[in-house]
Structure formats: structure tokens, C-alpha cells
Amino acid sequence: MATRYIPLALHHSPAPKVRHFAMLAGIEASIRGTLISAMPLVVYDALGSAEATSSAYFVAGIVALAWGLMVPWATRHLPRRWAYSAGCVLYLVGMALAVIGTPATVPFALMCLAMATATTFVCFNAYILDYIDRAELGKSQSTQMVYAAGPWAIGPMAGVWLHDWWAPAPFLLAGVFAIGLLITFWVLRLGNGKQIRRAKGPALNPLAYLTRFFRQPRLIAGWMFAVMRSCGWWVYVVYLPIFCIEAGLGDKVGGIALSISNALLFISPLMLRHAKRTSVRRSVRLAFGVCGALFMVAAFVSPLPWLTVAACMGASIFLVLLDVVGGLPFLMAVKPSERTEMSAVYSSFRDVSGILTPGCAWLVLLVAPLPGIFMATGAGLLCAFAVAGRLHPRLGAARVPMMRSGAPPA
């Protein structure tokens, strides 16, 4: 047959490796890192008040949450490779609307960017669970952190500088990264992922797989860990800079602290090595316990603002550790037949924390000054520390193959 002379590489796509997914994570981090500081400035300039800006972000969070939960349903009708590509296109649409910069277009720009993040995140995690072995999930997480470290360390400051130089500049740069993400994705030829089985019935609606999610305590705990980790980052990114301004430290201290903390992503492989020497449970408990305690210390020493900044920066070290190992309890508990659906549930942690954190902060500020937010955050992280004590002691440890009865050891 003629096909026998076709090179093998043209018959089969090479299986994607850890570094390939890390490359995708790094490019997407370049998009989000550039926009994370520039987008709030554009929203505030267009809408004219902090209240309107908060409302726009709140609505965008709700839209992204609903959209992300619908992605698995959509991928039953639309191949996953096209769903991921649609997420990249949504990035471009959102940036185009942001460049226009009118009060009518900016809220929709925010929604498009949030929907793009939710779409690519759901598909990306489904691909991870398809192609990365369970024992390699920790390595995959830490490698992604390393590839994303530079963009997250440089992107926020670069976005602000570019916006001050020329308002459309950060969005044009992020648009180049979005196009690069789309091209890289298609070059890697990830396709539609592995098919566990052919569907024999109608596609499930979101409520159906949410019901399955709530029946699995391990998934609920893993999702809660992701929400609390994200809430910690929200407080660090949003409320620490506000505290610095109110305490008279200036408006640049918070940004410098964020850049330094993001640079810690470079040492994520060392953190993973520590987790492998102990266990995922111990690492997760250590991170939540120390991080929660340091946020509480930050509240107690608030009359000395530099000590508060130092305590929050110390807490960020353990937030980075949670970035490395905090998602493993969820990812390791997902059934192969539910990869796409549960990836959608997992991705909702970002949107839920984006709704939960401002809401809780608003309630705290009704009865306490701003350092009370640090206290409430510490309490929430310590609750996660208590729940993490229920994880299996050997979660994430290498499995030792069992020998047959009577067989001598190798």
C-alpha cells in the first residue's frame, strides 16, 4: 500500500510532553500578566468611578462563572480544539474592545477576556488530564510555574508602563501573545484529547455534572483549596496596595511586592521536590497553616505598616507553594471519564473567588478597618488547613508495586 511509505511522523501526532503544556501556560501568562495591571486602568478611565469599576468586574465574574460551566456542554457539540481556539479569539475580541475604550465597549471587553480565560483554562486542564500521567501531575504544575514566572514578574509593571506611554500598547502586545498562543496550540496538534468512550446518550447539562461533583467529597475539598488559594492572592494583589496607600507608603510598594512574589515562581521545582520528600497532604497543610498565620500577623501589626507588608510578602511564599501543590488533590481525584466536566468545575474557583473576596471584604469593612480583611483571610486559610488534614497521608507519593505472594524481591 502507498501509505506504507509515508513517514511515521505524518501518521501520528507526537504525544505532548510536560514542557509543551508549560509552553502554553507561559504564553497565556504573558497575555494575562500584561493585562492584569492595564485593564483596571482602562475600566476606571472609561467608567469614571471605583464603584462602577467594581460593578463591572463583579458582573464579568458572574458571566465567566456561568460560561466556564457551559464549556463541557459546548465541547460535546464543538470539538475541543475549536473550543480552545475560540478562547484565543475571545482574547483578541476583548482586546479590540478595550482599545476602543468607550463606556459602552469596556464592560464587554472585560467579559470577553474573562470568558477567554475560562474557556482556555477548562480545555487546558482537560488536555493535562488526558496526556499527563497521574504521577507526573506535580512535575507538570511546577514546570508551568517556572515558564510563567517571567511573564508574571515582568508583565504587570510592563503593562502599566506601556499604558502610560500609549494606552493601546499593552493590548496590542497582549494581542501578539494571543496569536502566538493560538499558533503554538495548533503546532502542538493536541487535537480533541483522548476519547475514553463514545457517548451513548444525550450530552449532559451543567446541572448534571454539578450533581456528580457534589457527590464526591475529595473533589469538593480540592476545589475549596483552589478557591481559598485564589482568595489569598486576591487580597494580596488588590487590598495590600490599598493598605500601603492608606498607610502612607505610596502607590508603588504593592506593585513591587507583587513582582517580587511572582518571581518566586522560579523556585517552584524546589517546592515540588520538598512536596515529594514529604507528601502532598503535609505540603498543603504547611502552606495553608503558615500562610493563614502570617495574614493574621499582618492584621495585628498593622500600626507598623512595613511589618504588615513583610508579613504579607512572607504569606505570598506559601501562596506560591499552593500554586504548585494546591491543585493536586482535585486533579488526582478526577475520574478519566469526567475530565472535561470536572475541569470546568475546577476552573470556576477563579470566578468564585473573584466574587467571594470583594463581597466578604465589603462586609468586613462595614465593621472593621482594612486590616480586618487580612484577619478574615487568615481565618479562611486556617479553615482550609483543618480540612486538608482529612487528605490521604500518601497522596501524591510514588506507588510501590505489590509483589505476588511467594515471589522473591527483585
Q: What would you report as the CA-atom Rg of the chain, rounded to the nearest whole angstrom?
A: 22
Region 162-174: what's the mean pLDDT? Answer: 89
What digits encode the pLDDT tens for the residues 173-231? 999 999 999 999 999 887 665 554 444 444 455 566 677 788 888 888 888 888 999 89
Assign 394 a pLDDT band (cuts: 50, 70, 90). Answer: low
Q: Taking 50 as the threshold, does the pLDDT of residue 407 lie above it?
A: no
Domains of the chain: 15-192 (1.20.1250.20), 215-392 (1.20.1250.20)
Tell me the average pLDDT of the chain.
Answer: 80
CB 152 within 8 A of CB 25: no
Collapse the DSSP code of 404 into the 3-class scheme (helix H, G, I; strand E, B; otherwise coil) and give the result.
coil
Residue type, 42: V
Instruction: List pLDDT tens digits, range 107-151.
Output: 999 899 989 998 998 888 888 878 887 667 777 877 887 888 888
Whole-number percent of the chain with pLDDT over 90: 25
Alpha carbon distance 358, 11 (integer Å): 51
88-102, 262-276, 283-297, range with the lowest pLDDT: 262-276
Would you state the cell numbers that stand for residue 389, as one nine-digit string?
Answer: 488534614
pLDDT tens digits, one per residue of 311-352: 999 999 899 888 888 777 787 777 776 766 777 777 778 778
How far is the C-alpha of 206 from the C-alpha of 222, rounded, in Å? Answer: 19
**For position 207, what pLDDT does the model report?**
60
Question: In terms of DSSP H, where are the helices of 235-338?
Answer: 240-246, 253-263, 268-277, 280-300, 305-325, 328-331
pLDDT tens sequence across 216-269: 888 888 888 889 998 998 888 778 877 887 888 876 677 677 778 878 777 777
pTM of the model: 0.71
Q: What confidence category does residue 401 fall into, taking pLDDT thresholds of 50, 70 and 90?
A: very low
Round to whole Å and give the CA distance between 9 and 218.
40
- The residue type found at 226 is A
pLDDT of residue 388: 84
**pLDDT over 70 (residue 7):** no
